[in-house]
Amino acid sequence: MFKRYAALAVLSACISVTWADTAVVSTGEVHFTQRDGKELYDSVCLSCHMAEGKGAVGAGAIYPPLDDNPKLAASAYPLYMVMYGTRGMPGFGGVMDDEQIANVVNYIRTHFGNDYSDAIAEKDAKALRQEGYEYFDLN
């Protein structure tokens, strides 16, 4: 239960700056509206991982760098991280659809000094989704 509240606090802090521009409420659910990987990164990821993907340390947290990150070589790793999160990073599977997740992962894997050209497809994100999983969301 604590992890869920901690994830909520981190996610709230990360998106609070641009909330009005990044999410839409429709049919009672909140989802991000951007489709482009860079727009998603700038609106959702940048506040923790920074503009140049260098990461940050502060407020008792470590936000890992994305620049020249060899962990991004295996496409399943960033796909899983964005979908489900881990420790201090919330998963975005409840507020991004499969296409958005694929787009932001592709952006991260081809920028910040990363040159991983094997693109993630929407179907790859869809295949990773677990039926019945209680995704974190902002509802």
Give me 124's structure tokens. Answer: 């790859």
pLDDT along the chain (139 residues), means of 10: 45 44 52 92 94 90 91 95 90 94 97 94 96 79
**What is the model's pLDDT at position 8?**
43
Map out the domains of the chain with their CATH numbers.
Answer: 2-128 (1.10.760.10)
Q: What are phi and psi of 91, to 5 degrees?
A: -80, 150
**What is the model's pLDDT at position 2?**
43
**What is the model's pLDDT at position 29?**
65
Cβ-contact 96, 104 below 8 angstroms: yes
Cβ-contact 83, 93 below 8 angstroms: yes
**What is the model's pLDDT at position 10?**
46
**What is the model's pLDDT at position 135?**
82
Helix 98-109 × helix 76-84 angle, to 10°: 130
Tell me the C-alpha distance between 15 and 94, whole Å.
Answer: 14
**What is the model's pLDDT at position 28?**
54
